[in-house]
Structure 1
Amino acid sequence: MLAASDVSPEVPTARSWYAVRTFLWTRAAIAAVALLAAQLPTHARLEREAASPLLHDLGWPIDLWARWDSVWYLTIAEQGYHGAAETLAFWPLYPALVSLLGALLGGHDLTAGVLISLASLLGALVLLERLGVRLVGRSSSRRAVLYVALFPTAFFFGAVYSESLYLLLAVGAFLLAERGRFLPAGVVCGLAILTRVAGIAILPALAIIAWRSGDRRRALLSLAAAPLIASVHLLVVHDARGSLDDLFGAQALWKRHLSPAGPLGGIWHGLGKAWTTATELGEPGGPDLLWPSELVNAGFLVLFVALTVVAWRRVGAPYGLFAALSLALPLSFPATPSPLLSLPRFGLVVFPFFLVLGVLGERTRVNVAIIGVSSVLLVLATVEWVRFGWIG
């Protein structure tokens, strides 16, 4: 962990506009790339996948931010959990907010989803800078904000997906805990779990911070608010479907199954799939050369494992544990036939990764390399997303 002398104290009165400026110019740049990409030929699957009326709202400039899993969030916003059992893999807070704002906007749920994602991202970047100042210093925290905004899958932050909301709540929970406000931290953690099941990775990390606090017992008891709030999802599902059976089998419907070897199973099968993909590059019917998913996923796996180790040492045990658990969860449930399915998107919201990169980016060459490589991959990924290619 960084020495105290390396970390600038958080100064609430000296509010920086850096995060706001970063939000504005990066989202404008990503939007420009997306609008240009919309003029390119699309994948053959576009007509089939985009057939749902839920993916059409105020015209193509808005509609292009709804792809793939967006239809499930919009289905839940419209129907709750009364429909297909596949919806149970998506937790309720984000679609509930979409439904609420969509009603205020006259039924424009897709537009509501985009607005919620963008507003959540802005809040997340502001809070990440403040938390980063406490942990790694102001310069490193600002680089972390920039790196997350330019991450190759950062276009999801403006899409009808729950990434932005989850990042806001995850960072918020840690910031509250660092300030000694454990009851609000527990509440926000519970809301994060209601956003994504991966939010359970936050609670053990907060428990470490609580254990180190002056009033250990009170702090730990306050965190009990998290599972109580998260249990609301069980009540919602039971009310909609009459039992919880479908909830516990939801991951299997998406071809995800618990590996007997835990996360090691996901790593083993993921690297094996990447090797097979590498041998098929350039062959007829082979992987997409613009974004060969299995190879990209394997590359991010190696990066995330390395950043997790460094996060534990340089940022602190709570953040290393959060990163490790956030990575272990999807790796323990590898998908078929793509074991590392969506891993670059899952890593997008593991903010300790970016705090570590912010520290490493202190060296000019490293900083330039991170920005350059990330920006190029972000452009490629955004183009694929708009063309209805699979990114995550």
Structure 2
Amino acid sequence: MKSFDASVRYALIIFLATRILLSMWAILILALRPLPAEPDETLRPYLGQNELRNGASGLLLGPWQRFDTMRYLSIANSGYEGVENSVFPPLYPMTIRTIGWIFERIMPVSSGNLLAAIIISNLAFLGSLILLYRITAQERDDSTAKRSVAYLAIFPTAFFLLAAYTESLFLLLALVAIWAARKDRFWPAGVAGLLASLTRLTGWVLVVPLGYEYARQKTFNWRLIRLDVIAITLPLLGALGFLVYRLLVGLPNIDLIYRTYWYQTTGIPGLDLITALRQMMAGGAAFRLFFDFFCAILLIVTTVVAFRRLGVTFGLYSTMLLLFMLLPVSELKPLYSFSRYTLVFYPTFILMAIAGRNPWANRLIAYPSIALYLYFSGQFFMWGWVA
């Protein structure tokens, strides 16, 4: 009970600190660099939705009307009318629509849905911090748990966990799935995995760590298998269900959409690393590509280390996610959004927290993270692409 109380208390402190900081930072950034008054769907694609500029909604919600957020809101408003949005699974937009319906009675639809989207992601972020603390404390100790939570919260792209994006919801569901499985509660684990795959297609990879954890707890003896083994297949069934739905309603092949709108094709895992390295060495590459490359190397290293320091279940989780992320290749946009996808690799943050026991390592992690956190979030608020 003491660990639970500590996890909630510390997570709340970190959550409130980052939530208040980002709100104030967004107000300051846009006061110093106001957005142009004239619309520009190329540079600032609101996708036909109302821009929030005035009053409290303009001050507190407007800065979060950015990039993929507008796609989730578009799906919440009108489904998959825009076929380019049909690569996004439905759970997050459906939840936005459900909660937004309540707010529509007291505010415009555009404000209500965005507020709902932010509430969902923020609550999921808070839940993720609590669970990450508890998992880390169980594997190590409370001081390591505190560092893992802090390092996640100040990671340079961690502002996406408070934005109307799916990162925080996916992270929470993945943590619940692994946490429940480790406690021999495979039906809750499977349901969480199912919901994760309906949040992001990558959720299907949870089948592998859940399957291993099931086999481990049954001492790898097939005679001990029970009906609950079905639960570990639920993440895969969620992803397949979404793909079948797309097929039944006549949406274009998902690979075609990625190729047409995101300039990505499926290729050899890791080929994008070579493309990124070539572009960086040629000169003129954006700083974010260097950071994406750094994140890719960080994930590769920590995934290997996770097997030895944290166990096979954690290692398999990171391995499967990493392989799935390394499949897309693009000459135009290599390592697309890698720094944002890093946020769901919670074993990486546990390993960073273990390393952070050394005061110099702690400073080396914390100081650059905070500086880049402010830089990247400022870029995001000004409609600058980050990840």
- Whether these two folds match at TM > 0.5 is yes
Residue 72 of structure 2 aligns with which residue? 73
Q: CA-atom RMSD, angstroms?
A: 2.3
Deviations 1:322-361 (CA, angstroms, capped at 9, x unpaired): 1122122222102340111100001111111101111111
Aligned residue in 2 for 1:368: 363
The residue number in structure 2 matching 1:329 is 324
Displacement, 1:128?
1.1
Structure 1, unaligned runs of 5 or more: 1-8, 281-286
Q: Which residue of 1 aligns with 2:58?
A: 59
Shift of the alpha carbon at 1:51? Answer: 4.5
- Structure 1 counterpart of 2:117, from 108, 113, 118: 113
Counterpart amino acid of 1:301? Answer: A
Length-normalised TM-score, structure 1: 0.87
Contact 2:29 2:381 in 1 (8 A): yes
Matches within 5 A, 1:285-304: 292-304=287-299
Structure 1 residue 91: Cα displacement: 1.1
Given the alignment of the two structures, is residue 34 of structure 1 paired with residue 26 of structure 2, yes or no? yes
C-alpha contact (below 8 Å) 2:207/2:233 kept by paired residues: no
The answer on whether the counterparts of 2:174 and 2:206 sit within 8 Å (CA) in structure 1 is yes
Equivalent positions of 1:313-392 (< 5 A) are 313-392=308-387
Change (3 A) 1:301 1:14: closer
Query: Which amino acid in the other structure matches residue 149 of structure 2?
Result: V
Residue pairs, 1:189-338, within 5 angstroms:
189-214=193-218, 217-218=225-226, 219-234=228-243, 236-238=245-247, 242-243=249-250, 245-253=252-260, 254-259=262-267, 262-276=268-282, 279-280=283-284, 292-338=287-333
Which residue of the partner structure matches residue 23 of structure 1? 15
Mapped contact 2:127–2:172 kept (Cα < 8 A): yes
Q: Shift of the alpha carbon at 1:266?
A: 1.9
Deviations 1:35-94 (A, max 9, x none): 21112336889843144453634214211112111111111111112x122111111111
- In structure 1, what residue type is equivalent to 2:330? A
User: Counterpart amino acid of 2:142?
Assistant: R
**C-alpha distance in structure 1 between counterparts of 2:336 and 2:50, whole Å:** 23
1:153 aligns with 2:157: yes
Distance 2:144 2:39 in 1: 41
TM superposition shift of 1:320: 1.4
> In 1, distance between residues paired with 2:239 and 2:2?
31
Q: CA deviation at 1:274?
A: 2.2
Instruction: Provide the rounded CA distance (Å) in 2 between the counterparts of 1:161 and 1:275.
Output: 32
Q: Structure 1 residues 10, 234: CA separation in 2 closer, same or farther (over 3 Å shift)?
A: farther
User: In the aligned structure 2, how far is the partner of 1:306 from the partner of 1:42?
Assistant: 41
Contact preservation (8 Å) 1:191, 1:230: no
**What amino acid sits opposite 2:72 in the alignment?**
Y
Verify the 8 A CA contact 2:288 2:386 in the aligned structure 1. yes
Contact 1:307 1:353 in 2 (8 A): yes
Distance 1:33 1:141 in 2: 27
What amino acid maps onto 2:293 in structure 1? A
Q: What letter is aligned with 2:78? A: Q
With normalisation by structure 2, the TM-score equals 0.88
Using the alignment, how far apart are the partners of 1:76 and 1:47 within structure 2?
Answer: 21
8 A Cα contact 1:147 1:371, kept in partner = yes
Could you tell me how far apart the structure 1 residues matched to 2:229 and 2:175 are?
19
Which residue of 2 is the match for residue 6 of structure 1?
Answer: none
Greater alpha carbon shift after TM alignment, 225-234 vs 162-171: 225-234
Cα distance in 1 for partners of 2:140, 2:207 equals 22
Contact 2:206 2:235 in 1 (8 A): no
TM-fit CA distance, 1:149? 0.6
Rounded Cα–Cα distance in structure 2 between residues aligned with 1:52 and 1:349:
27
Aligned length: 368
After superposition, the C-alpha distances for 1:246-287 in whole angstroms (9 at most, x for unaligned) are: 33533223211011xx212122112222222xx22xxxxxx5
Instruction: Assess if the C-alpha contact under 8 Å between 1:312 and 1:320 holds in 2.
Output: yes
Output the amino acid matched with 2:204. I
* Structure 2: distance between partners of 1:203 and 1:46: 45
Residue among 93, 96, 107 paired with 1:95: 93
Moved more, 116-125 or 60-69: 60-69
The higher-RCO structure (CA 8 Å, 6+ apart) is: 1
- Name the % identity: 29
Question: In the alignment, is the contact (CA less than 8 A) between 1:342 and 1:391 conserved in 2?
Answer: yes
